[in-house]
């Protein structure tokens, strides 16, 4: 009877030791208050806060972009429907009117040009 009890006690003590070790490891991983940390400047703290806020608002910005895109698409559709006079072109082409007037512009870049043979 005592021989049966001894292994059970040893096993439970081993389990308790493992739990104690795992708790010690967790505590060693946590930062302690009495340890000195590298101080963070106010500017760096502000940057970290801004970055955190930026990341938190990512979904909100994404949603706003989607809404804006849909709104613009609906506006374009409404505008096309209101302007539909049988042609789907964005601007109406006018007939070309021939003129006798000619315009010549001389920029005088001859000195800068290089002849390639």
Write the pLDDT tens digit of every residue in 20-68: 555 555 555 555 554 567 788 999 999 999 999 999 999 999 999 999 9
The CA distance from 27 to 114, in Å, is 77
Predicted pLDDT of residue 117:
75
28: its two tokens: 């060693």
Element (H, E) at 11: helix 2-29
pLDDT at 12: 54
Distance CA 12, CA 51 (A): 48
The alpha-helical segments, DSSP class H, found in 30-84 are 42-56, 58-82
Per-residue buried b or exposed e for 3-40, using 16+ beta carbons within 10 Å of the residue's own CB:
eeeeeeeeeeeeeeeeeeeeeeeeeeeeeeeeeeeeee
- Which tens digits make up the pLDDT trace of 74-108? 998 888 777 765 555 566 777 888 889 988 888 88
Number of neighbours of residue 61 by Cβ within 10 angstroms? 10
Residue 58's pLDDT is 95
Q: What angle do CA 62, 66, 69 make, to 5 degrees?
A: 135
The answer to whether the pTM exceeds 0.75 is: no
């Amino acid at each position: 009877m005592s021989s049966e009890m001894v292994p059970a006690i040893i096993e439970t003590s081993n389990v308790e030791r493992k739990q104690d070790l795992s708790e010690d490891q967790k505590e060693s991983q946590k930062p302690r208050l009495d340890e000195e940390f590298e101080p963070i400047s106010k500017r760096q703290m502000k940057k970290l806060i801004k970055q955190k806020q930026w990341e938190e608002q990512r979904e909100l910005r994404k949603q706003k972009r989607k809404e804006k895109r849909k709104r613009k698409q609906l506006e374009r559709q409404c505008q096309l429907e209101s302007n539909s006079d049988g042609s789907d072109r964005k601007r109406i082409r006018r007939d070309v009117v021939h003129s006798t007037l000619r315009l010549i512009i001389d920029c005088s870049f001859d000195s800068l040009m290089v002849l390639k043979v």
